[in-house]
Structure 1
């Protein structure tokens, strides 16, 4: 369930890097303006498609969170027009989210390999 949030963090970091590269006089003092409908829309879709792969502990989680979490992301996409962050915060969030996302994907890959070994 952290996948959509890590996606938001990675996208923020990439947008900050691109913004800095396109500036003629790069500075960390400015703000970064992001398209909230675009980011939260993709995050909501990612949450919706990945919710089936989460191992829920309780039945109520499976029924309510599986729908409510992606719906909350989509409501944010509709309700917000733009998201403004300080450039320095975006540059800190991006690499941390990328490292956490890489660790999550490696862990999922190893868990899948272990499950394949046990099934054989």
Structure 2
């Protein structure tokens, strides 16, 4: 089955920021859900996040989006494999991370906005010729 790309060409800097923006957005969503589900209580409580889950997804995002980057110098090719492996190593080293709820909210909102802007900015433009309509895929 042919899969159509969600992202167009990325810069190396954008590729490095993409997993971090995902992490910040996920922390913000988790903090917002915590406030909505448990509104009564201390607003300055800590939010426990699963490090293997979040960093594992971030590493997967980095690996899958690395094909959309224009790699130029040789050292950047080391970054292509090393950055996701570093995230996987951190995911295996820690079980969870605790953030203060207000900090997670302050990080999450700008990260979600920036992630949305990156996805809009780097969407593919002329991939309709390479990406057939759903009826043509069968």
Write out aligned runs for 1:2-81 (5 A). Answer: 2-62=17-77, 64-81=78-95
| Deviation (angstroms), 1:70 | 0.3
Alignment of 1:79-94 (within 5 A): 79-94=93-108
Unaligned residue ranges in structure 2 (runs of 5+) = 1-14, 128-138
Deviations 1:53-81 (A, max 9, x none): 1112312212x001000001100110011
> Is the helix fraction higher in 1 or 2?
1
Equivalent in the alignment of 2:134 = none
TM-score by length of 1: 0.87
Cα RMSD (Å): 1.7
Cα deviation for residue 26 of structure 1 reads 4.6
**Paired position in structure 2 for 1:97:** 111
Quote the Cα distance in structure 1 between the aligned partners of 2:22 and 2:43: 22
Runs of 4+ in structure 1 off by over 6 angstroms are none
Give the conservation status (yes or no) of the 8 Å contact 1:8–1:40.
yes
Deviation larger for 46-55 or 17-26: 17-26
Aligned length, in residue pairs: 113
Q: What is the TM-score normalised by the length of structure 2?
A: 0.76
